[in-house]
């Protein structure tokens, strides 16, 4: 059986009807959707009775466009509870798959033209692009994600289905229920709700509005640990708020923001930002100075980055194990290097204190407090697999790698953060100084 879907050709006034190819994963979609309909049949029955009492249709249709501009018809219960379960009928009738092309019409004309080769694929309730957006992972190359998804096998399809279901459970909330302000307050901290692209542009920009007259603008990445540290350290909280930009880092911040009705645009953390920052720095001829971590780690990270980005200008590197008396000499070397961007990897709250005390002496354009960033790029610590990051479980990987040093941060810190969020309601109120 083939279903018809309307495909809008860019530049044409009329839509061209193209047949949608029968899903090769019918052996997955059909059994799962029928099983779910059977399990949820009591809810379907209740919704049917309510619709009869209210004299309204049982099922109503909703039209959406996929990434190719094709019109996709979804079904939803008109009345009752968990109305979204009606979409299972859309899967049964093969209007849509559980996993398929992104169900969004936000792609540019050039991107859509490039995606025409996937015209034989149906749209899906879950896609890798949508999964990354849901979990906050920056999506700068959606075509690559779609290509990987389409070319993957059946096991990968099932894996995506499971990851998508879990991510919807943790992170999804209807768009009408969430606001996406450019700036908001979370736990008493001012968060700038930027995409990764906008955050990189800000870091590279030389003309920008700063909170102070100091030349060097300062950026912080705020995660669960940052929030927990500010509970008993109001000075740290004030320092962070005096920064020029504070970016939300991690699934914990995303969950807390969702609780107060705010959607965080993307998960902007130093580890994910660095590759994009390096690419942009190469193009704009900007230089980077790496300060912090144990002796040898910054040098090793710099060498690794130069292998990946041979045209990158790394102005210098310096470990973070220097005395207060040596600070003046360290700052002099940074300034003499004429670096545009300074990465400070000293860990919280040391890096925040160091930056605030010395920002007036720094001549670089931007300084970013990046915590343990150099450990990742030196090879000392491996990054969590992508599937764990998609589920917001990167902290589990870190805990397995460093159980002793990360025990308090994650095993104690994460539940404490959730208590502050959901029990004490401090996500909205903040902490009393």
Helix (H, G, I), strand (E, B) or coil at 286: coil
Report helix, strand or coil for 108: coil
HSE, side-chain direction, 13 A CA sphere, residue 117: 9
Cα 150 to Cα 118: distance, rounded to the nearest angstrom? 8
Report yes or no: 134 and 102 within 8 Å, Cβ to Cβ.
no
Interstrand relation of 59-65 and 4-7 (parallel, antiparallel or unpaired): unpaired
Phi, psi of 246 (to 5 degrees): -130, 115
Report whether 343 contacts 370 (CB < 8 A).
Answer: yes
pLDDT of res. 16 = 36
Q: Please check whether residue 29 is in contact with residue 97, taking contact to mean a CB–CB distance below 8 angstroms.
A: yes
Comparing C-alpha atoms, which of 229, 188, 186 is closest to residue 408?
Answer: 229
User: What does the CA dihedral 347, 295, 399, 407 come to, rounded to 10 degrees?
Assistant: -60
Contact predicate 130/103, CB 8 Å: yes
Question: CA angle, 117 as apex, 113 and 119 as ends, to 5°?
Answer: 95
Average pLDDT over all residues of the chain:
89
Tokens of 428: 């909205």
Taking phi over 0 as left and psi of -120 to 50 as alpha, with beta for the rest, 152 belongs to: beta
For 89-129, what is each residue's pLDDT tens digit? 999 998 899 999 998 877 777 788 889 999 889 999 999 99
Contact assessment for residue 126 and residue 161, using Cβ atoms and an 8 Å cutoff: yes
Assign 229 to helix, strand or coil.
helix
Q: Give the residue ranges of DSSP H helices in 69-119.
A: 87-92, 109-114
Alpha carbon distance 44, 58 (integer Å): 9
**Rounded Cα–Cα distance for residues 211 and 103 (Å):** 40
C-alpha 198/C-alpha 196 separation (Å) is: 5
The pLDDT score that the predictor gives to residue 6 is 37
pLDDT tens, per residue, the chain with 433 residues:
333 333 333 333 333 333 334 445 678 899 999 999 999 999 999 999 999 999 999 999 999 999 998 999 999 999 999 999 999 999 999 889 999 999 887 777 778 888 999 988 999 999 999 999 888 898 888 899 999 999 888 889 999 999 999 988 888 765 557 899 999 999 999 999 999 999 999 999 985 556 666 789 999 999 999 999 999 999 999 999 999 999 999 999 999 999 999 999 999 999 999 999 999 999 999 999 999 999 999 999 999 999 999 999 999 999 999 999 999 999 999 999 999 999 999 999 999 999 999 999 999 999 999 999 999 999 999 999 999 998 889 999 999 999 999 999 999 999 999 999 999 999 998 887 6
The DSSP bridge pattern shows strands 16-19 and 124-126 to be unpaired
CA angle 49, 55, 58 (to 5 degrees): 55
Residues contacting 364, CB < 8 A, separation 6+: 216, 289, 334, 335, 339, 340, 341, 342
pLDDT at res. 108: 77
Candidates 315, 290, 279; CA nearest to 376 is 290
- CA–CA separation, 47 vs 43, rounded Å? 6
CB count within 10 Å of CB 222 equals 26
pLDDT of residue 27: 81
The HSE-up count of residue 274 (CA atoms within 13 Å, CB side) is: 28
CA separation for the pair 300, 175 (Å, rounded): 44
Q: Which among 278, 276, 273 has a CA at the least distance from the CA of 371?
A: 273
Q: For 138-202, list the strands marked E by DSSP.
A: 183-186, 189-192
Ranges of each domain in the chain:
4-172, 183-378
Which of 268, 348, 276 minimizes the C-alpha distance to 305? 276
């Amino acid at each position: 059986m083939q279903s018809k879907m309307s495909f809008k050709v860019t530049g044409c006034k009329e839509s061209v009807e193209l047949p949608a190819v029968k899903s090769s994963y019918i052996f997955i979609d059909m059994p799962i959707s029928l099983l779910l309909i059977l399990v949820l049949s009591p809810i379907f029955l209740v919704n049917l009775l309510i619709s009869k009492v209210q004299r309204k249709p049982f099922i109503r249709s909703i039209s959406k466009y996929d990434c190719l501009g094709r019109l996709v018809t979804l079904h939803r219960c008109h009345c009752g509870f968990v109305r979204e379960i009606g979409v299972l009928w859309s899967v049964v009738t093969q209007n849509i798959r559980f996993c398929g092309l992104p169900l969004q019409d936000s792609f540019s004309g050039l991107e859509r033209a490039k995606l025409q080769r996937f015209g034989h694929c149906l749209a899906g309730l879950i896609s890798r692009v949508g999964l990354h957006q849901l979990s906050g992972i920056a999506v700068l190359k959606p075509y690559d994600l779609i290509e990987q998804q389409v070319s993957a096998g059946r096991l990968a399809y099932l894996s995506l289905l499971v990851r998508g279901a879990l991510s919807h459970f943790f992170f999804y909330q209807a768009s009408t229920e969430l606001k996406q302000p450019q700036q908001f307050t979370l736990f008493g901290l001012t968060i700038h709700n930027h995409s990764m692209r906008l955050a990189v542009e800000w870091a590279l920009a030389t003309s920008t509005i700063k909170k102070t007259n100091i030349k060097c603008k300062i950026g912080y990445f705020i995660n669960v640990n940052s929030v927990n540290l500010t509970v008993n350290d109001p000075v740290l909280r004030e320092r962070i708020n005096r920064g020029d930009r504070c970016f939300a880092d991690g699934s914990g911040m995303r969950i807390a923001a969702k609780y107060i009705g705010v959607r965080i645009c993307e998960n902007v953390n130093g580890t994910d930002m660095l590759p994009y920052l390096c690419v942009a720095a190469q193009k704009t001829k900007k230089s980077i100075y790496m300060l912090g971590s144990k002796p040898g780690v910054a040098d090793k990270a710099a060498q690794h980055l130069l292998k990946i980005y041979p045209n990158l200008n790394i102005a210098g590197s310096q470990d973070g194990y220097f005395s207060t008396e040596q600070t003046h000499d360290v700052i002099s070397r940074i300034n003499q290097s004429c670096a545009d961007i300074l990465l400070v990897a000293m860990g919280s709250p040391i890096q925040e204190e160091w930056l605030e005390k010395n920002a007036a002496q720094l001549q670089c354009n931007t300084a970013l407090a990046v915590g343990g960033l150099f450990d990742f790029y030196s090879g000392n610590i491996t990054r969590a697999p992508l599937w764990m990051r998609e589920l917001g479980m990167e902290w589990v990987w870190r805990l397995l790698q460093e159980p002793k040093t990360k025990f308090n941060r994650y095993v104690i810190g994460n539940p404490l953060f959730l208590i502050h969020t959901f029990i004490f309601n401090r996500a909205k109120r903040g902490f009393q100084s």
